[in-house]
Chains A and B, each alone.
Chain A
Amino acid sequence: MKKEQTKEKLLTGSQILMESLLQEGVDTLFGYPGGAIIPVYDALYDYRDRLNHILVRHEQGAGHAAEGYARLSGKAGVALVTSGPGATNLVTAITDAMIDSVPIVCITGQVFSSLLGTDAFQEADVIGITTPITKWNYQVTSADEIAEVVAKAFYIAQSGRPGPVLIDITKNAQIEKAPFAYKKVTHLTSYQPNLDPHPKQLQLVAELINQAERPYLFAGHGILIAQASQSLQAFVEKTGMPVANTLLGLSTIPQDHPLFVGMLGMHGHYGANKLINKADLIVAVGMRFDDRVTGDLSRFATNAKIIHIDIDPAELNKNIQVAVPIAADAKQTFEALLPMVKKRLHTAWLKRFHDYDALEKEKVIVPSTHPTEGEVTMAEVMHLLSEKTRGEAVIVTDVGQHQMIAARYYKTKKSDSFITSGGLGTMGFGLPAAMGAKVAVPEKEVIAVSGDGGFQMNIQELATIAQEKLPVKMIILNNNFLGMVRQWQELFFAGRYSFVEMKNPDFVKVSEGFGVAAEKITERTDLTGAIDRLLASKEARVLEIVVHKEGNVFPMVPAGASVDEVRLE
């Protein structure tokens, strides 16, 4: 006789993993199978209708794609890989996600628990390797732990200051059976990110803002994470504060906003840097005073009191001593402050930024975006792209000169539309991250902008793009140089070009070989048409543009200099 079905249904660990991912609202995985994760892939076979698995060509690609996906979707991206080399190939992407606060959940297969520590085939100490580069990681050795660990992983990755987490699952845990029950984690006793600003601190902040004559707001990535773009805008419009972006903070505020004064940092805008030392109050939100932003710390913000608002208390007073630290969510803080601050205009102060803008325009911007002769410049490409897409595309960059040029000349209008590897500066980020971004927002135009060096670092993902029919648009700004290093060698190493020149492959042939349409141009007269064709394409397309071979990015704050020593040439 059949037994009554009161007994809990047992699922394999792999099935539990699938069910748990569904419970967390996951619909996309970027992955690559291998021996120690086969049982999970076997379970995935039955979930193909609910979980869209994208087969990358290298695990690093999966990691960056998960990052790109996370940045656009606002939820954790998921990477699924095997043990050993599969897991170690994720390391760069995990580190990138850690320093740029990107929520990704990495699931790695691991050898049978009975083999742990025996140097088994494809065994690597993934927990050991990833401990310093994850917000949290955990090794699962039995099926009944999986649901609980997944729930915890997603909560940790997505809450507070987001970051990467890694779950290492031994093969036996994937195979064994256990009852499945899922409970989402919404609270952990030992981890309670503070969201609401302290009222006393707010009072201090409001007073400082209301008294300030030359206040200046730095808007960082934390604002995008907190989805606080509109709150930021309302706040600066009331207080009349000029606002500058960090590299990762780009697209927190439309760049045609009258209070937007440009980008901070080594290759930021002239006035945006120059006037840091003239401000009497700096309100820094969701940023971390990276050395690329501050230059010489001892000569940074020399006349200003600093208010620092960040959800991560460890960032407060880390690099720079501040007058008022607030450990809280950016949106909640803006909203709490808004009624406390006075309506102000800082016309004269703002004019000083505009005066510097005029100078920068004359010396740098116009000559580089509207050259009349010579080779095509990166700046004119980005300027034209910006015009043609009305600043409404999602730009995903790689790392190097083209990244800085894209940051400077692509005029973002909408939130989350400038995706780049800021903290780690990971070459090879752009192509896979654009792929992940496109999966998250298929309705948006996603354009990867790379240099010739970085494009080759994860070029294999062209195959993924082709297989998945992802209409990602790709621009290679090709100067046949590792341009940023070359620029440093030119400026600071007496022009000794040590291993920066590249004899590149035929990018058109390579792309076409992968099944992606491509075009190469070298002449200015072909630029408009080529960009039009790129944007008009309904499919993935590569546009290689041969640009000025020894162009430099200016303005520049030389490493170790003060922000007000920013150079225009």
Chain B
Amino acid sequence: MKYTIIIFAENKPGVLYRIADLFLRRKINIDSLTVSETEQHGISRFTVVVSRELELIKKVVKQLYRIIEVVKVLEKREEELIFREIALIKVVVKNATERKKIEDITHLSNATVNAFGEDYVVIEKSGTEDEITRLYGMVKPFGIKEFVRSGRIAVLKEGLDRHSGKPKAHPES
């Protein structure tokens, strides 16, 4: 099962290392990881996507709380989130016919052409991982020069009350 773990932590040196190490110790492969600033000064938001069983994820969440700088950790299923990632696909263009085809696919996929040159176009697509994978599959036959995706970012559909109560209070006690 795919879970998105959202970690709020003080923006201090070494926090990413400690977080990554925890996943390493538990031998959990990270599908994607993004880090960014938040609306709150000095607090970073880590979005980690992993595909493992909930029982294990819950233990990891508690161990994440052991990291001194970690303020809040949430583990969420996809239906609880609005989530996106962004991808840039640099596709080979051999001739005008192919260029037209690629552009059509791009538009039908709700993507945009971000840049282009004589023999390539750069498609920018924001969407779910599945949407990006689908688009990638469609343009792949034309030839891919480069492909990069950002990793998931996500916001909660509802109920983030990070500012209320004790930051580290645990559901169990």
Contact = CB atoms under 8 A, between A and B. Distances in A.
Decide whether A and B assemble into one complex.
yes
Interface of A: 127-128, 131-132, 135-139, 156, 188-192, 194, 197-198, 201, 312-314, 316-318, 325-328
Contacts of A314: 59, 62-63, 65-66
Most buried by B among A136, A188, A191: A191
A194 B68 contact: no
Contacts of A135: 66, 68
B173 A191 contact: no
A192 B14 contact: no
B25 A132 contact: yes
A194 B173 CA distance: 9
Contact of B14 (A127, A189, A190, A312): A127
A191 B68 contact: yes
A197 B166 CA distance: 14
Given A131-B21, A137-B14, A314-B59, A192 B167 contact: yes
24 contacts: A128-B17, A131-B14, A132-B25, A135-B66, A188-B68, A189-B71, A190-B9, A190-B68, A190-B71, A190-B168, A191-B68, A194-B166, A312-B66, A314-B62, A314-B65, A316-B62, A316-B172, A316-B173, A317-B58, A317-B172, A318-B62, A326-B172, A326-B173, A327-B170
B173 A192 contact: no
Interface of B: 9-10, 13-14, 17-18, 21, 25, 58-59, 62-63, 65-66, 68-71, 166-170, 172-173
A138 B18 CA distance: 12
* SS of A interface (majority): mixed
Given A194-B166, A313-B62, A318-B62, 13 more contacts: A128-B17, A132-B18, A190-B167, A194-B170, A197-B173, A201-B173, A312-B66, A313-B173, A316-B172, A326-B172, A326-B173, A327-B170, A327-B173
B68 A189 contact: no
B173 A190 contact: no
Which 6 A-B residue pairings sit nearest by Cβ, starting from the closest? Answer: A314-B62, A198-B173, A327-B173, A313-B170, A325-B172, A136-B68
Contacts of B18: 131-132
B12 to A, nearest CB: 8
Nearest to A325: B172
A314 B169 CA distance: 12
A327 B65 CA distance: 13
A318 B55 CA distance: 9
B34 to A, nearest CB: 20
Contacts of B70: 190
Contacts of A132: 18, 21, 25
Contact of A318 (B59, B65, B166): B59
A29 to B, nearest CB: 24
A201 B173 CA distance: 7
Contacts of B69: 190-191
A323 B58 CA distance: 16
A194 B169 contact: yes
Contacts of A139: 13
Contacts of B14: 127, 131, 137-138
A495 to B, nearest CB: 35
Nearest to B64: A314
Contacts of B71: 189-190
A489 B115 CA distance: 68
Contacts of B13: 127, 138-139
Nearest to A165: B68
Contacts of B25: 132
Contacts of A328: 173
A327 B17 CA distance: 26
A314 B26 CA distance: 14
Nearest to A132: B21
A226 to B, nearest CB: 16
B53 to A, nearest CB: 14
B56 to A, nearest CB: 11
Most buried by A among B21, B170, B173: B173
A313 B62 CA distance: 7
A132 B18 CA distance: 7
A39 B17 CA distance: 30
A290 to B, nearest CB: 16
B16 to A, nearest CB: 10
Contacts of B168: 190-192, 194
A119 B132 CA distance: 43
Contacts of A198: 173
Contacts of A191: 68-69, 168
